[in-house]
């Protein structure tokens, strides 16, 4: 895909990346895949898809009451029976 230098589009990509705690490249890829599945190629429609994905991500974060980073922190916590587990080579 050709490089898009539209400031608003890049801003939406950055906001989506921040909300999902992913890289900007991953956010752009997510938008590209959504646009490709709908056959969208023009920049104004891409901005609409990016805005829609951003709103969904924000809604999911506030609806669940915790952010993705909090979910990751919870998943990385060691259980009591696994605290002293060590892997040796």
| pLDDT per residue as tens digits for the range 10-50 | 999 999 998 888 899 999 999 999 999 999 888 889 999 99
Would you say 27 and 49 are in contact if contact means Cβ atoms under 8 Å apart? no
Q: Report in angstroms the alpha-carbon separations of 87 from 36, 73, 81, 84.
A: 44, 21, 15, 10
d(CA 83, CA 24): 35
pLDDT, position 76:
76
Residue 32 counted as domain residue: yes
Per-chain mean pLDDT for the chain: 81
**Containing domain of residue 62, as a range?**
7-77
Total domains, the chain: 1
Is 51 a member of any domain? yes
User: For residue 87, is it within any domain?
Assistant: no
Residue 16 in any domain: the answer is yes
Residue 56 lies in a domain: yes
Q: Is the pLDDT score of 68 beyond 90?
A: no
Residue 20: the pLDDT is: 84
| Selection from 16, 21, 11 nearest residue 34 by Cα | 16
Q: Is 43 contained in some domain? A: yes
């Amino acid at each position: 895909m050709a490089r898009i230098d539209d400031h608003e589009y890049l801003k939406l990509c950055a906001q989506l990346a921040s909300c999902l705690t992913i890289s900007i490249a991953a956010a752009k890829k997510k938008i590209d895949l959504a646009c490709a599945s709908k056959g969208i190629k023009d920049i104004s429609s891409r901005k609409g898809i990016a805005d829609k994905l951003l709103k969904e991500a924000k809604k999911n974060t506030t609806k669940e009451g915790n952010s993705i980073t909090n979910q990751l922190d919870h998943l990385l916590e060691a259980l009591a029976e696994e605290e002293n587990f060590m892997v040796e080579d």
